[in-house]
Amino acid sequence: MIVILKPKPPAAAVAELSEMLEKQGVRVDPVYGTDLTILGLVGDTSRIDPSRVEANRIVERVMSVAEPFKIANKLFHPEPTVVEVAGRSIGANKIVVVAGPCSVETEEQIISVAAEVKEAGASFLRGGAFKPRTSPYAFQGLKYDGLRLLGLARQATGLPIVSEIMSPHDIELFAGSVDIIQVGARNMQNFDLLKELGKISKPVLLKRGLAATVEEWLMSAEYLLAGGNRQIVLCERGIRTFETYTRNTLDLSAVLAVKKLSHLPVLVDPSHAAGKWWMVADLAKAAVAVGADGLMIEVHNDPARALCDGQQSIKPDGFRALMGELRPIAQAVGREL
């Protein structure tokens, strides 16, 4: 349920109304926009009589939120959320690009790739320290040493870093080591992990699950938001369908759906979606054209020898060319890169 207030309500009256509502067993989250002030009511709202709330002189109207995701709902927060990270804004007019190798392999590798993608215009460096793999025999990442190497790359280039977490036990370490904590597709419904990440004040990048609906994806974001963490970014990375030619099927319609249903920013990962390096550039262009707030692209200096997902990684020179091709597309849809 949301309570839409009349323009410029007195602060004392808002506080009084909020206190009255909280006494009825709900949590009140105020949202102050440029044109509207909204009180989002989270919890069991069955005991609240909308007519009595609307009788308050500062209330314009009361609306029920039909969807199960409440805080992630656009009704709750009509203006797009912008997540600020190390001087970068995700969800604003400028499209952000997260680039780097699937996994951290060596100090030389991660620092050299970081320098290349920064020069080409990337906003963030991605790199996997912990790698969830289908096979237990596949390369699982350098783990804690990988985080250390990512820190060296950040120190050398100034790029903020994004890396995937696997266990709730590592949250404190990740919170102090990376700039954005990534929750991968396989952990999208790891609710114990989501609950713990909801308790911290650290940006979280939530990837869509392998076969998750948009509603299930937003409900996972709701776990993070309900815990108090408002710095949430979504990432579409392709879903599993009957098609086997590509690794996954990139669902660009999900970007439009999220924009209609939610206020959260959404990135697109064309690398994991296609699983083929030669598709990445064109899918990235399509993602920008459809309204994505950013891209996550795998870049490796020697894909043929990559320890993980080399077949979907583009080289630094290809990434540089792609960035140049993306700029006029961004301008065509009223954005900048």
Q: Which of residues 263 and 140 earns the better pLDDT score?
A: 263
pTM for this entry: 0.92
Residue 165: band (very low, low, confident or very high) from pLDDT cuts 50, 70, 90: very high
Residues 137, 319: Cα–Cα separation, whole Å: 30
Residue 208: is its pLDDT beyond 80? yes
Which of 81, 5, 82 is CA-nearest to residue 39?
5
Domain boundaries, the chain: 2-63, 83-332
Indicate the pLDDT class of residue 52, thresholds 50, 70 and 90.
Answer: very high
- Say whether pLDDT at 17 is over 80: yes
| Residues whose CB is less than 8 angstroms from the CB of residue 197 and which lie 6 or more positions away in sequence, other chains included | 165, 168, 171, 181, 183, 204, 224, 227, 229
Identical fold between 2-63 and 83-332: no
What CATH code is assigned to 83-332? Answer: 3.20.20.70
Nearest to 24 by CA among 54, 46, 1: 46
| Contact between 126 and 157 (Cβ < 8 Å) | no
DSSP class of residue 299 equals B
Q: Which of 38-42, 43-47, 239-243, 298-302 has the lowest mean pLDDT?
A: 43-47
What per-residue confidence (pLDDT) applies to 176? 94
Tell me what pLDDT residue 178 has.
Answer: 96
Q: What integer pLDDT is reported at residue 31 of this predicted model?
A: 86
Q: What's the rounded Cα separation, in Å, for the pair 180 and 202?
A: 7
pLDDT > 90 fraction of the chain, expressed in percent and rounded:
83
Looking at residue 33, its pLDDT comes to 79
77 contacts 38 by C-beta, under 8 angstroms: yes
CA angle 249, 254, 259 (to 5 degrees): 160
Taking only the tens place, the pLDDT of each residue in 61-111 is 999 888 999 999 999 999 999 999 999 999 999 999 999 999 999 999 999
Q: What's the 3-state SS for 120-174?
A: HCCCEEECECCCCCCCCCCCCCCCHHHHHHHHHHHHHHCCCEEEEECCHHHHHHH
**Residue 5's pLDDT band (cuts 50, 70, 90):** very high
What is the CATH architecture assignment of 2-63? 2-Layer Sandwich (3.30)
pLDDT at 15 exceeding the cut of 80: yes
In one-letter notation, the amino acid at residue 220 is: S
- DSSP code string of 250-296: --THHHHHHHHHB-S-EEE-HHHHH--HHHHHHHHHHHHHHT-SEEE
Task: Tell me the pLDDT tens digit for each residue of 213-246.
Answer: 999 999 999 999 999 999 999 999 999 999 999 9
One-letter identity of residue 161? I
**Measuring CA to CA, how many Å separate 123 from each of 5, 60, 117?**
38, 41, 9
pLDDT at position 106, please? 93
CA distance 140 to 166: 11
Q: Give the CA distances from residue 130 to residues 72, 81, 234, 251, in Å, rounded to whole numbers and listed in that order.
A: 28, 29, 20, 26
Average pLDDT for the chain: 94
Residues in contact with 77: Cβ distance below 8 Å, sequence separation at least 6, in sequence order: 31, 38, 40, 71, 263
